[in-house]
Amino acid sequence: MTYSGTSAVVTGGAQGIGLAVVDAFLIKGARVAIWDSNAQEAQAAIDAVPSRKGALAIQCDITDWEQVQGAARQTVGAFGHIDSLVNSAGVAGAIATVEDYDNATWQSIIDINLTGTYLVNKAVIAGMKARDYGRIVNIASIAGKEGNPNACAYSASKAGVIGFTKTLGKELADFDISVNCVTPAAARTPIFDQMSKEHIDYMLSKIPRGRFLEVAEAAAMISWLAGPENSFSTGAVFDLSGGRATY
């Protein structure tokens, strides 16, 4: 099924899983707006590949409600409506025990990963309800299910994304709006730059398939969840952990 005539927002779409989702949407025929804290990087990613021509790069700090609202207005002004939202923006943060964790770093990670998810979801709800159509996918993490040692803020924030997604899915179940999340294992993306080798090795050791997730594999599932074929599943958590998840 093509996504012709639909429009999608991908936060954090300048790189990593987000950029792979942008490509998947474009291949299917959707129009795409990238909301990213680094709009120059997003525009460079668009300019680097001919098939991304026509995608829109929008500066947006997802922790700032005014910027999120402005990005939504700009997207609607360009495309007319927002059909799909994939919230991929996120950070890993410092690696440290709870006892030694920096309080300001904790708050920053919660602000981006959890509060940012809340804000970007909130910004598109009214338009989706008015059109009785919408598809939302939030990127959580296997860490949100199982907890990674020395990553308390990241694990807690992603667990929060799971709970938030389930809540919103139930709130919007009377509409043709689905709200789901995915729980990826680690993928080799720039987020690895925030992690120690020891932590990366730990994550790999927990994946039964014995390799990291490929971003194209993630994008295949996410773009389906965020498209017209997903007409029933909502409030759900879809696994991308290579066998690590136990539930």
Cα dist from 128 to 4, 78, 131, whole Å: 17, 16, 5
Q: Which residue has the tokens 């429009």?
A: 7
CA distance 86 to 39: 17
Q: Do 122 and 77 touch, CB atoms closer than 8 A?
A: no
Active site residue 154: yes
Q: Do 167 and 123 touch, CB atoms closer than 8 A?
A: no
| Catalytic residue (one of 3, 101, 118, 154) | 154
Apex 233 CA angle, 231 and 238, nearest 5: 130
CA distance 239 to 141: 9
Q: Give the residue numbers annotated as catalytic, written as ranges.
A: 154
